[in-house]
Structure 1
Amino acid sequence: MIFQLPTDTPNPSQNTPIDLTSIFDIVVFIVAPVVMVFLYFFLQKKERPNNDSKNEDDT
């Protein structure tokens, strides 16, 4: 099986866990996704039209 692995490509056995002592890893894997999710919901709420004006016109 070892003969089938390409030599210069990443293999599953070479993966390392996330190093939470590194500021870069914390920003990339924790802070950035949380900020992106927050911005997504914030912008979706901002773009949604206000339905209160429709209710006033119907009465």
Structure 2
Amino acid sequence: MKNTINILLMQLPIGTPSPDNNSPIDFSDPFNIIVFIILPIVAVVLYFYWKKTKHRDNE
């Protein structure tokens, strides 16, 4: 079992972020709110708007 864990750990290159050293997203920072909440919502809305206008152009 220990040998398997060592083999798996050797697969991660040095300097690559791993789930062990990541911190949770801090939503008290306005930048994180914009990047992780507002921009994805805007991207989805714009995608559906684009698909709707593309569908109208085809008719």
5+ residue gaps, structure 2, are: 1-5
- Please give the TM-score of this superposition, normalised by the length of structure 2: 0.67
CA distance change for structure 1 residues 10 and 44 in 2, over 3 Å: closer, same or farther? Answer: same
Structure with greater helix percent: 2
- Tell me the equivalent position of 1:30: 37
- How many matched pairs? 50
Pick aligned residue for 2:25 from 8, 13, 18: 18
Give me the TM-score of the superposition, normalised by structure 1: 0.67
Cα distance in 1 for partners of 2:19, 2:47 equals 33
Larger Rg computed on CA atoms = 1
Instruction: Report percent identity of matched pairs.
Output: 42
Question: CA RMSD for the aligned pairs?
Answer: 2.2
Q: Do the aligned partners of residues 44 and 7 (structure 1) sit closer, same or farther apart at CA in structure 2, a change above 3 Å counting?
A: closer
